[in-house]
Amino acid sequence: MDNLTHSLVGLTAAKAGLERLSPGASILCVLAANAPDSDVAVVLFGDRWDYLQHHRGITHSIAGVVVLAVLLPLIFYGVDRLRARLRRQPPKTNLRGLLIASSIVSATHPLLDWTNNYGIRLLLPWSPRWFYGDLVFIIDPFLWVVLGAAAFLLTSKTPLSKVIWSAFAGVTSFLVVMGPRASDLPNRGLIIALWLGAVVAAIALYRNGAREKWGERIAFAAFAVVFVYWGMLAVAHSRAVEQGREAAAGIVAPNGETVLRLAAMPTLANPLRWECVFETDRATYRFPVRLNAGNSPTRVIRYEKPAGALAQVMNTVGQQKPGRVFLGFARFPVASLADPDCTTQTLVQLADLRYTEPGRSRGAFAVELPVDCPNEAGPRETVTEGR
């Protein structure tokens, strides 16, 4: 999940009672909620492939989270003792309370990251296996508004805090209304209206003294809403997988292929639309699944698995760092040649089909590598409309 969501979880957890365990626990909770993402520091010493290789790696594993959950309170406690010694005052923090708060909040980070389709390697360093929840899109405005409203109601006590929350509401509202992904929102007008309505409702609750009336129960209610929301998404995901399997069977039947594995993945702010990606013994496919529609996909993308000369090219690029790292990360890797009819050199285009297609985008989810031209053309994409 995005770090805004992690921070809101940490702050809301602190206001649910963890802040009472020790002075400084609120700040600790926010930091602990984000601590596993300290793996971003790898970009200071390497390139984007080092980041892709190590992100959601050891710091997100069970072992890594346990270490961070203990290390962070020890740093807090040590700094507090040093400060107290320099000022000749008694220490303020409670190490036991900091450890409890840190342990609880640190566990939320891998849980949240597991819920989306990027994946997480929980068993490092013993196993590099990826685990995918496929329930929540990596950025979810619903979580922002629920957790943000709870944190706002419980922390807006000073003029400065009100200014900060006003800025938060302004920035997140801008992202929802006019941000880079705003055009991808389904039923955009309705979602914007619901978002603005939720912001107004939070302000109204604050003006009517919600914090004084309900206190910590607001935080527990927010977490309860999140878990109910996840439960609803789990039901929708189960239906999407079932519907996707039926559609996949119909897609591959004419070709005599066998479905090996299938995943239904969430889309931005739309629990009724899922992206289905599946692999057969001969190809990899992607198509949309709409729970409120029939089982016939409107657009099917198909990439044959590398064979012959392209398979040899894949063996070559798999020995290079970008190709090796990318193929180790990609859940549904596909490949094509930029110019199958080349005579000297061309580009082999790799992509993870859960996010993009070869040659369609750049970044961590696709890569183009120069290779010598193979002796024969490799497999190409097939798009079927109106199935």
- Percentage of the chain lying above the pLDDT 90 cut: 66
pTM equals 0.92
Distances (CA, A) of 156 to 5, 153, 202, 211: 18, 6, 12, 9
Q: Where are the domains of the chain?
A: 1-124, 303-385
Q: How confident is the model at residue 295 (pLDDT cuts 50, 70, 90)?
A: low
Whole-angstrom distance, CA of residue 87 vs CA of residue 77: 15
Chain segment 339-354, per-residue pLDDT in tens = 877 778 888 889 999 9
Whole-angstrom distance, CA of residue 28 vs CA of residue 73: 7
Does the pLDDT value for residue 181 go beyond 90? no
Whole-angstrom distance, CA of residue 105 vs CA of residue 347: 45
Whole-angstrom distance, CA of residue 95 vs CA of residue 17: 16
> Which alpha helices (H) appear in the chain, and where do they start and end?
3-15, 25-34, 48-54, 62-87, 95-106, 108-114, 141-155, 159-178, 188-207, 210-214, 217-252, 309-317, 321-329
Q: Do the bridges between strand 299-304 and strand 333-337 make them parallel or antiparallel, or are there none, so unpaired?
A: unpaired
Q: Do the bridges between strand 333-337 and strand 345-352 make them parallel or antiparallel, or are there none, so unpaired?
A: antiparallel
Chain segment 265-293, per-residue pLDDT in tens = 999 999 999 999 999 999 999 999 999 77
Does the pLDDT value for residue 362 go beyond 70? no
Please give the structure tokens belonging to residue 238. Answer: 């189960």
